[in-house]
Amino acid sequence: MKQRLVVMNGQRIVQKTPPGTESFEAATNDVMGKANGLKPGVYNLYSSLPADKQQSYSGQLIHADKESVYQKAGMNIIKHNREDFDKVPEIGSVLSVSYNAQGKAETAAAALVQGRGLKR
């Protein structure tokens, strides 16, 4: 079963494919709530990378379900285990997630750094 998050019209919608199919044509749609500052677009949760507990990840939290917490870090989506968090942070918040020696996730507020580029 594949999952993807669709953000449009100020809403977050999770699309799930039926077991045994690869196409999203027959997908079920679950409205998860308000977008909370997420940019409109399609986020493929099925292509997320598992979190490496030796690294720190900085970015926006885009989705949380029963098993995982998904974070947009740069161009990648990082999948954290939900049980590693004492309390799951609010969706849409920009955080830095790192892991302590016991393997528990520690969160801290992070600032997004924006730069200006010159294109011709």
Answering whether pTM is above 0.85, one says yes
* Cα–Cα distance, 84 to 90 (Å, whole number): 15
Do 101 and 53 share a structural domain? yes
Same domain, 118 and 73: yes
Domain of 59, CATH number, reads 2.40.50.140
pLDDT in tens, 68-111: 999 999 899 999 999 999 999 999 999 999 999 999 999 998 76
Distance separating alpha carbons of residues 86 and 8, to the nearest angstrom: 30
Q: Give the domain extent around 90.
A: 49-120
- Could you tell me what percentage of the chain is helix, strand and coil, using 3-state DSSP and rounding each to the nearest 5? 10, 45, 45
Query: What does the pLDDT read at residue 48?
Result: 96
Domain boundary among 28, 47, 66: 47
The number of domains in the chain is 2
**Do 42 and 58 share a domain, yes or no?**
no
What radius of gyration do the chain's Cα atoms show? 15
109 and 63 share one domain: yes
